[in-house]
Amino acid sequence: MSLAKRVFELQQVEFSIQGHIKQLEEMDLRIRHNDQFEQAEASLKTAESERAGIEKQYKELDAEAEAPRAQIRQITDKLYSGKIKNPKELVSYEQEAGLLKASLAKKDDVLLDMMEKLESGKVGIKKLKEVYKTALGAWESEKTELKVLVDEVKKELSELEKKRGELLSSIDRDTLAAYEGLKGRKGQVVVKVEQGRCLGCRVALSVNELQRARGNAIVTCGNCGRILYLS
């Protein structure tokens, strides 16, 4: 293998290593986070806490309504006991009962409204739990698949690292320094020559450059400075 080819191979291996590392990072992220599951979980929690809030209010209001309910029962008992003979007293009790009933009716309307909300909340939570379960199941199976893939990619990566090490030890220090020095550039820094042109900048190479590139020395493009590789 010519020196230029080895440097070219080194570049390809390093690109592949970068790609594998990126792939591993992406997979790791997908193992740790799942938008659909997290959204489902948040929606369920919100609905549950909203329902718990209404339930608390309901209980408080229902407890408040207990006093007028008891008073109404007492008055009604008195009225039907037949013990009260005085018509004025009877009227007064009836009026009191009427006022208590009117105020209780308002509370009962609110309680009924809350009861409806609690019922629809229950239905909503049931649906959200289904969504949550489905999202969790999908994520779990995705994770299982991803873990298998991670192992494969890691294996490939270690092979690539081994290959990189071999290539590095087969390339002299000056050539490596030239290669490393070009690395700040975007994309390929070792480029193929095709039909007499540098594939890095598409400029036609001189006869001299082409001749030198055919040899075993490292030749850079006179126009863009990239290392040329003539296959």
Nearer to Zn ion, 75 or 190 (CB): 190
Selected binder of Zn ion within 7, 213, 221, 230 (CB under 5 A): 221
Torsion on CA atoms 207, 222, 217, 8, rounded to nearest 10: -110
Give the number of residues in contact with Zn ion, rule: CB under 5 A.
Answer: 6
Residue the block writes with tokens 């291996």: 13
**Taking the complex as a whole, how short is the minimal distance between the CB of residue 216 and Zn ion, in angstroms?**
20
Q: Which residues pair with 191 in a beta bridge?
A: 228
Nearer to Zn ion, 153 or 199 (CB): 199
Selected binder of Zn ion within 10, 13, 20, 200 (CB under 5 A): 200
**Taking the complex as a whole, how short is the minimal distance between the CB of residue 131 and Zn ion, in angstroms?**
56
Nearer to Zn ion, 44 or 228 (CB): 228
Nearer to Zn ion, 73 or 185 (CB): 185
For residues 3 and 217, the answer to whether their CB atoms sit within 8 Å is yes
List the interface residues with Zn ion, window 55-84 (CB under 5 A): none
Nearer to Zn ion, 8 or 139 (CB): 8
Burial zone of 148 (CB within 10 Å; 0-12 exposed, 13-18 middle, 19+ buried)? exposed
Q: Does 204 bind Zn ion (CB under 5 A)?
A: no
Q: How far apart are CA 128 and CA 134, in angstroms?
A: 10
Q: Does 201 bind Zn ion (CB under 5 A)?
A: yes
R_g of the chain, CA atoms, integer Å: 41
For residues 121 and 48, the answer to whether their CB atoms sit within 8 Å is no
Nearer to Zn ion, 4 or 198 (CB): 198
| 227-229 and 190-194 beta bridge pairing | parallel
Q: Does 199 bind Zn ion (CB under 5 A)?
A: no
Q: How far apart are CA 168 and CA 165, in angstroms?
A: 5
Selected binder of Zn ion within 40, 128, 198, 227 (CB under 5 A): 198
Q: Does 224 bind Zn ion (CB under 5 A)?
A: yes
**Taking the complex as a whole, how short is the minimal distance between the CB of residue 42 and Zn ion, in angstroms?**
53
Q: Does 188 bind Zn ion (CB under 5 A)?
A: no
Single out the residue of 204, 170, 175, 206 nearest to residue 190, CA to CA: 175
Tell me the helices (H) and strands (E) count for the chain, helix number first.
Answer: 5, 3
Q: Which residues bind Zn ion (CB under 5 A)?
A: 198, 200-201, 221, 223-224
